[in-house]
Structure 1
């Protein structure tokens, strides 16, 4: 279990990732990692959004070793994708509840960067 300690959200939503979430990972010997992250966002307007993200990361054993050592790795050297669902009581964010999103992930030495697209 990897703790989620915070972050920023920018784009159609702006705000921050709250500390307290986690990413449960199952690392497989074939280089695939099953990812299951749950965390909360707080928008700049003060609304709270729960995020459930299920995905996978696939890399060669050599790339996995480099990532585990904290080395920078070009995202073209691995595959990291996630499907996301959202829950919120905020009336102006109900569009999130009825959408799936797809995220393209990048594992950096000090953080994970997700580029997320709503699937309409």
Structure 2
């Protein structure tokens, strides 16, 4: 394979140096992302407020009433007053979520969270979830991508990195494990 073909295929070409040691020659070689646990949030919820069907999609708002969060670098409480807006497709129950809420760290700092994601499951699992039954998280897909905003210097790392979450839906709360993408 020529060097041009290797670069086009996304592979790094190697050349053997004078000492016989392989050296990377592709300056465009990209690092593989990794994940590191940042913190877990347990968000308590109020009863869903149904908006009805809009343009063929069921819409509802679920009030965020409180909760806690904890990790190695940050911990505190979830402030009441936020909400989770959901669009639910009628044909398969796929749910697009957009949550906006605030965390208050133990040091008094306030952190805004805007979290977009998707929850999907086979129809029989989705039916149980919508009926308020507890379903093992392994039975459904619930992933989100949060964006954080804070003016606190101690928590600037939240503003300056990308995160992904894995969620679990319980009848009265959501558990969200948040990971820093390396």
Normalising by the smaller structure, the TM-score range is over 0.9
What 5-or-longer segments of structure 1 have no aligned partner? Answer: none
SS of 2:80's equivalent in the other structure is coil
Work out the CA distance in 2 between the residues paired with 1:17 and 1:2: 15
- 1:5 and 2:32 correspond: no
**TM superposition shift of 1:108:** 1.2
Which deviations, in whole Å up to 9, do the C-alpha atoms of 1:30-84 show, x marking residues without a partner?
A: 2210010000000011000000100000112221221122111011110000001
Normalising by structure 2, what TM-score?
0.64
Corresponding residue for 1:94?
156
Counterpart of 1:107 (choices 161, 166, 169) is 169
Q: CA RMSD in A?
A: 0.9
Corresponding residue for 1:43?
105
Corresponding residue for 2:122?
60
Q: How many residues align?
A: 120
Work out the CA distance in 2 between the residues paired with 1:95 and 1:85: 11
- Which structure would you say has the larger Rg? 2
Normalising by structure 1, what TM-score?
0.96
SS of 1:63's equivalent in the other structure is helix
SS of 1:18's equivalent in the other structure is strand
Work out the CA distance in 2 between the residues paired with 1:105 and 1:10: 15
Q: Which runs of 4+ in 1 moved over 6 A?
A: none
Counterpart of 2:82 (choices 14, 21, 29) is 21
What 5-or-longer segments of structure 2 have no aligned partner? Answer: 1-60
